[in-house]
Amino acid sequence: MIGIPVLSRHAQLLEQVRRDLDVPIAADAVVAPSVAIRTDDELADFVTSRFGIAIPRIKVCPDHDAPFDAFAAAFFARARVVIIHASRLFGGKTTLLAALASCEAAALGADVTLLGGSGAQSSRVHKAMTTMWRWPGAPRDLLCSEPGARLTRFSAGNEIEALLASQRSVHGPHPNRLRLDECDDMSWEIYEAASGQVVSRGGVPGQTTIASTRYRARGTMDRVLGLAATSGTRVYRWCWRETMQPHGWMEPGEVAFKRLEMGEDRWRIEVEHGNPNPADQPFGSSVATLFDRARGKYNGAIGELVVIEPYAAAGQYAHGFDWGRKKHFSAGATWRVDTRPFRLVAAQVRHKEEWPAMIAGYNAQIGMYGGGRAIASGRSHVCHDAGGVGDVVRSYLSVPVEDVFMVGQTRVDLFVEYLAAAQRKEIVGPYLTQWASEHAATSRNDLEGDGHPPDTVVAQAMAYRAAKVVTRQISVGMPIAVGDNAAWS
C-alpha cells in the first residue's frame, strides 16, 4: 500500500490544496497506445513511479472516501461525472487533478482540459503538473516540448490545456476529459457552459471531474451538490483525516496550526464541510420539520412528479408555483390544508423543457388534486409567480390562478409569512433532497435583500399564500380534519 509522497518537495505544492447523471461505464481495462493500466494497484504504481505522487488509499471518517477511490473512478471513467467535495488546504484537490491529467494524457492518450475557478487557479493546476513532469521517472519521451503555462502537447497528438474561466474559452475545446478545480469560485454560467463539452473519442470515454470546497451558501458548489443528491450522482468526500500522516502527507502539527490560523467558523465550513454561514440561513432547524426524514425520503429527480399522498375528495388543497426554464428551475408544491399542520402532498421540479411540456406536468399536478372543480368550489387555490415569464406561463395553465408579483411589500410579506409559519412548525412534509438542501442554503439576503430565492422556496411560499386563501373560506362551515394521519411512503 502506498503511503506518503516519495518526493518531499511535492508537499510544498499542497498549500494550494485546496447535470449529467451518474452513468456507469464498463470498468474494463483502459489500454493506451503505450501503457496498459488494468487495476487500481497498477494505476497507483504508475502515478507514484512516473510522477512521484502517492495518493492516500485509506478512509478514516465513516462517511468519507479515500482520495484514491475518486482518482481511480475518474481515470477509469467508472462514472461519467465524478464530484469531489474536499477540505480547503488539506484536500489535495489541485495536486490530485494535476496528477490525474498527467496520467490520462500519458497512459490513455487523452485530450484533457483543466478549468479553475479563475485563470490563476487553472494555472496552479498546470504548474503542479509541470513539477510532476520533472520527476526522474516521468515519461518525458511522450512530450513534444516542455509543458507550457497554458498548453502541453504530446507526441500522440493529444494535449492538456489550462483554460481561463470565461464564457468564450470554455466554449472552444471538446476534450475527452474535463477537470474543474474549485468550481465554487466560478460562476454558474461558466460551470454550465464547460460541463457539457466532453466527448468520447479515440477509444477514450468522455469524463468530467469536479473538485471543490464549498465556501458559499447557494454558490456553484452548493448547487452542484444539490443536483448530485437529486440525480443520485455519487459525491466523494474527505477531510484532513484522510490526508494526514502516516497514510497521507500532511503533518499533524500543520493541521493544528492551520486550525488556529483559520478560526473556528472558516474551519467548520471549509475544512469540516459544514454548511456556509449558518447564522445567515433563516430556515435553520425548521428545515428538519418542513422536510422530515421520518415521514419518508424522496430524491425527486428533475421532471418527476413526487406524489406523497393521494387525493382525498373531502380534502382542501393549496398549490404554489415558481417558473424558470433555461437558467433557473421551475418548481411546484401542493399542500393539504384542511389538517393541522399543513402537509406537503405532491411536488416536482423541472428544467430546460419547452413551455407546453413543462406546464403540462404542472397541470397534471393540479388536476390530481381536484383540478378546476375544486378551485371553483373554494376547496383549492393556486398562486404563482406572475413576474418575468409568469405571463407566458399563465396562457398554458388549464385552471384559474392568482397572479402574485414579487415586488415591494408583496414580496416581503410572501417570504416573511412563509418563514414564520415554518418556524412555528405549521407545515410538514417528507424529505425531498433538492427542496431540503435549497431551504437550508437560503440566505436572509435571498428573502429580504437583492438575492435570488431558490425556486423551491418560492413555490412553498406561494403555496402558503394559497393556503391562507383556502383556510379563510373554512370559517363558513367546512369541517377541519384534525391530526396527521396520512399514510406516508
Q: What is the pLDDT of residue 458?
A: 96
pLDDT band at 49 (very low <50, low <70, confident <90, very high): very high
pLDDT band at 88 (very low <50, low <70, confident <90, very high): confident
Which of the given ranges, 275-284, 339-348, 436-445, 447-456, has the highest pLDDT on average?
A: 339-348
Lowest mean pLDDT segment, chosen from 99-103, 175-179, 411-415:
411-415
The mean per-residue pLDDT over the stretch 438-449 comes to 84
Q: What Cα–Cα distance (Å) separates residue 68 from each residue in 42, 56, 59, 84, 282?
A: 12, 6, 9, 11, 38
- Its sign, for the CA torsion 189, 190, 191, 195, is positive
pLDDT band at 212 (very low <50, low <70, confident <90, very high): very high
Interval 216-259: pLDDT, tens: 777 889 889 888 887 788 999 999 999 999 998 888 888 888 88
Q: What is the pLDDT of residue 377?
A: 92
Interval 120-147: pLDDT, tens: 676 677 788 889 999 999 999 999 978 8
Domain residue ranges in the chain:
10-276, 279-474
279-474 placed in CATH 2.60.130.10:
no
**To which residue does cell 499533524 refer?**
252
Determine the 3-state secondary structure of 215 from DSSP.
coil
Query: Considering the chain, what percentage of its residues have pLDDT values greater than 90?
Result: 49
Q: What rounded mean pLDDT belongs to the chain?
A: 83
pLDDT band at 451 (very low <50, low <70, confident <90, very high): confident
Of 191, 119, 254, 48, nearest in space to 71 by CA: 48
285: its cell numbers: 432547524
Q: What is the pLDDT of residue 326?
A: 60
The mean per-residue pLDDT over the stretch 439-464 comes to 88
Report whether pLDDT(39) > 90.
Answer: yes
pTM confidence score: 0.60
The mean per-residue pLDDT over the stretch 159-166 comes to 80
Superfamily of domain 10-276: P-loop containing nucleotide triphosphate hydrolases (3.40.50.300)
Lowest mean pLDDT segment, chosen from 8-12, 35-39, 157-161, 427-431:
8-12
Report whether pLDDT(318) > 90.
Answer: yes
Report whether pLDDT(8) > 90.
Answer: no
Q: What is the pLDDT of residue 325?
A: 62
Of 108, 111, 199, nearest in space to 157 by CA: 111
The mean per-residue pLDDT over the stretch 347-363 comes to 90
Of 489, 327, 341, 349, nearest in space to 423 by CA: 341
Report whether pLDDT(313) > 80.
Answer: yes
Q: Which residue has the higher pLDDT, 169 or 333?
A: 333
Interval 367-422: pLDDT, tens: 999 999 999 999 999 999 988 776 678 778 889 999 999 988 888 889 989 998 99
Which ranges of 135-219 would DSSP assign to H, the alpha helix?
Answer: 167-170, 188-195
